[in-house]
Amino acid sequence: MSIKTDITQGDYAAFVKHVARTVSAASGDKVVRKFIAIAICLGIGFALSLLNLSSHLTTLRAMFCGALAGAFLLMVFIANIWRRPMQQMRQADDGFVVGSQEVFLENEGIRQRSGHHQSVFQWSLIRAVAVTEQHVFVMVDRIAGIILPRRAFASDAEREQFVSEIERRSGKVRT
């Protein structure tokens, strides 16, 4: 079986989002949430300590509002730092990820071929098969995989047959 496709920057962006969701769900999202919770607690503690020191009501309100605004800005800053690497990930238009490709299901594994490269991923290397509304992602590592847009398949039945064959040969089920 083989599929011909043309991978776009949009397809790659969808893949990066999929990987980010998968990786953050598996590990780092909890760390970020804890850091933000600590920052909020420190901001509230700072605000309360300022309230204790102040005796004038107008100054008290101003200090409290300033402390809350500072905590909010800190959260926004942290969120931007966390997202920035994902937003900057972009493949070269003349590289091996974006552009025309053909994917073959062979006895030894999945062969991916373009004008710039050819790779064979042995069946034992397949980690997962993710089917989304617009793509099929065949993961060969935690952050690397084969991108198959839905438009590459002539029909839903063809896509289903292709994915079922990958599942059968790799022993992995779709997520």
pLDDT in tens, 9-33: 889 888 988 888 777 655 555 666 6
Cα 174 to Cα 139: distance, rounded to the nearest angstrom = 10
Mean pLDDT of 112-126: 92
Pair 7, 42 in one domain: no
Is pLDDT larger for residue 95 or for residue 150? Answer: 150
Residue 29, classed as helix, strand or coil, is: helix
Domain boundary among 38, 59, 88: 88
- pLDDT tens digits, residue range 2-15? 899 988 888 988 89
Pair 129, 165 in one domain: yes
Cα 17 to Cα 36: distance, rounded to the nearest angstrom = 22
- pLDDT tens digits, residue range 87-111? 555 555 566 678 899 999 999 999 9
Model pLDDT, residue 160: 95
Which CATH number belongs to the domain containing residue 164 in this structure?
Answer: 2.30.29
Pair 16, 50 in one domain: no
